[in-house]
Amino acid sequence: MKVAVVGATGLVGTKMLQVLAERNFPVTALYPVASERSVGKEVEFKGKKYKVVSMTDAIALKPNVAIFSAGGGTSLEWAPKFAEAGVTVIDNSSAWRMDPTKKLVVPEVNAGVLTAADKIIANPNCSTIQMVVALEPLHKKYQIKRIVVSTYQSVTGTGKKAVDQLMGERRKAIVGANDEYPMAYKYPIDLNVIPQIDVFLDNGYTKEEMKMVKETCKIMGDDSIRVTATTVRIPVVGGHSESVNVEFANDFDLEEVKSLLSKAPGVVVVDDPSAQQYPMPMDAHEKDEVFVGRLRRDETQPNTLNMWIVSDNLRKGAATNAVQIAEYLASKGML
């Protein structure tokens, strides 16, 4: 299996290489791809060094699959060129997610929609991925009517610059360091919470919030689900958390909910209030599962559940989900 990783030198690209190695994806040839200024640099994969190649060279090498994590503009320009050369593209940007001709896939939820003809496959937004993994088994049983979600998202969702800002602010606060650090955000992030992720739209919601609204319905194949979201950036490195209030058409039994989630692929239930056990980002770090807890009935209206969902945004929220799509395609002989 010849594999290209586009954006291999970035935060998510590096994680994709790590996940490919850890999951023993059958890589026979690896082509790390990045911008022209990174061509010739080296990345490591399974103890070996590989030189970064250009987009054009990667296409000429005809990989079976190209996993993209290089931004929407790059994906819009280059994904069709890879696809025209017969390469299957799995794209981590927002470029193709809402394109009606492209599949938006979370393997635990809707891998079955994929066919060999799908040459550009979209990887959903990180916060959407972890939510739908947890909600899918409940939707099948009780039918979701409405979702109210508030997110608590790690700075790694923004990228290395945001991590550097957080750590720079922390050094300054703790030891009085005055070294230079970049500002990924308009405001300080350490000891602060920023209720804005991505740009504001005309309706007063941010782009990130509307991604969750639209992507949830597309992935779950049900436009009747109503979703409203508030997305927030917090000073955490690694791991997104979500408070989710979900209204069902049918009533539920709380023990049955726990049982359904415990048996669901990719879900781990951590829910023991008596022992103060619940999912936290520090526990999800470097893991591929979606962790669910704080399960309780909403006492203000019928058929409504409160839940807390946590996952590593660089892994299941990005790299792992993309690799799982590739694994599914390979298992079905589609690569």
The string of DSSP codes covering 224-271 is: T-EEEEEEEE-S-SS-EEEEEEEEESS---HHHHHHHHHHSTTEEE--
Token pair 């970049």 in the structure block, residue: 182
126 is an active site residue:
yes
Please state, in angstroms and rounded to a whole number, the distance separating the CA atoms of residues 23 and 11.
18
Burial of 37 (0-12, 13-18, 19+ CB in 10 A): exposed
Given the residues 126, 139, 217, 285, the one annotated as active site: 126
Residue with tokens 């049918």: 250
- The burial of 282, by beta-carbon neighbours within 10 Å (0-12 exposed, 13-18 middle, 19 or more buried), is given as exposed
Q: Which of 139, 217, 240, 285 is catalytic?
A: 240
Check residue 316 and report its DSSP letter.
I
**CB burial of residue 202 (10 Å; 0-12, 13-18, 19+):** exposed
- Alpha carbon of 265 to those of 92, 151, 288, 311: distances in Å? 22, 22, 11, 14
Element (H, E) at 202: none
Residue 320, Ramachandran bin (φ over 0: left; ψ between -120 and 50: alpha; else beta): alpha
Supply the DSSP symbol for 317: I
> What is the spatial distance between Cα 168 and Cα 181, in angstroms, rounded to a whole number?
6
**How far is residue 216's CA from residue 222's CA, in Å, rounded to a whole number?**
8
Q: Which residues are identified as catalytic?
A: 126, 240
